[in-house]
């Protein structure tokens, strides 16, 4: 018998009749979860406490976060072209995006970046038509062409219904969205251009 402590939890490894060793008290996932809970306060990146967000934390440099009217927290990566009119409800937004889960797991990108990505063709959508997820619609309204934002979209403003856009082309990527609909999403969006409806 070997006894050790991991994060204040006593873990005991015993030998089975077949000679294999296993943990008897807690599964590994529970031990890792306990370790992460103790690390988060030490790093000081609790969302809402100091204005930062763990999913958007870039380590080292302090980002300036802003909030949209519906509550999407975002960071402006580039400002865009001066003199351009901002996107508004009813406009057709042409944009590139990268979609990740809040833990950083990559889901899809419209940019041509290899496996699991698009061919570089930007996505187009009419703003305010209720077919785009509310958080992304809210994020795009007010952006100017060339502007790039990295945003944490809460689950209540994400894929709340089946069939909301944007939908990745592959089944596995769409399955990721469906399976994790109750989690916040990280979108990195660059507005290419805005077209007015005629």
pTM above 0.75, yes or no: no
Q: Name the burial class of residue 57, with classes exposed (0-12), middle (13-18) and buried (19+) by CB atoms within 10 angstroms of its CB.
A: middle
Alpha-carbon torsion, ordered 154, 160, 166, 171, to 10 deg: 110
What would the pLDDT profile of 69-109 be if each residue is shown by its tens digit? 999 999 999 988 888 889 999 999 999 999 999 999 999 99
Least confident stretch, 23-37, 66-80, 140-154: 23-37
Q: In the structure encoding, which two tokens stand for residue 124, read together?
A: 């187009």
Taken in order 48, 50, 51, 52, the sign of the CA dihedral is negative
| Order of strands across the sheet that contains 9-15 | 2-6, 9-15, 21-23
């Amino acid at each position: 018998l070997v006894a050790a402590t991991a994060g204040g939890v006593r873990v005991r490894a015993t030998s089975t009749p077949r000679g294999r060793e296993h943990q008897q008290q807690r599964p590994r996932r529970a031990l890792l979860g306990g370790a992460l809970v103790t690390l988060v306060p030490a790093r000081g990146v609790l969302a809402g406490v100091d204005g930062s967000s763990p999913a958007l934390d870039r380590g080292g440099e302090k980002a300036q976060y802003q909030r949209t009217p519906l509550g999407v927290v975002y960071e402006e990566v580039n400002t865009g072209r001066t003199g351009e009119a901002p996107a508004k409800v009813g406009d057709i937004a042409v944009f590139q995006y990268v979609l990740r889960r809040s833990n950083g797991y990559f889901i899809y990108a419209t940019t041509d970046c290899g496996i699991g990505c698009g061919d570089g063709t930007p996505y187009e959508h009419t703003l305010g038509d209720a077919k785009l997820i509310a958080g992304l619609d809210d994020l795009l309204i007010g952006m100017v062409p060339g502007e790039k934002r990295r945003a944490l979209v809460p689950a209540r403003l994400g894929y709340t219904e089946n069939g909301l856009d944007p939908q990745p082309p592959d089944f596995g990527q769409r399955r990721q969205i469906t399976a994790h609909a109750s989690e916040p999403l990280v979108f990195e969006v660059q507005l290419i251009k805005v077209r007015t409806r005629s």
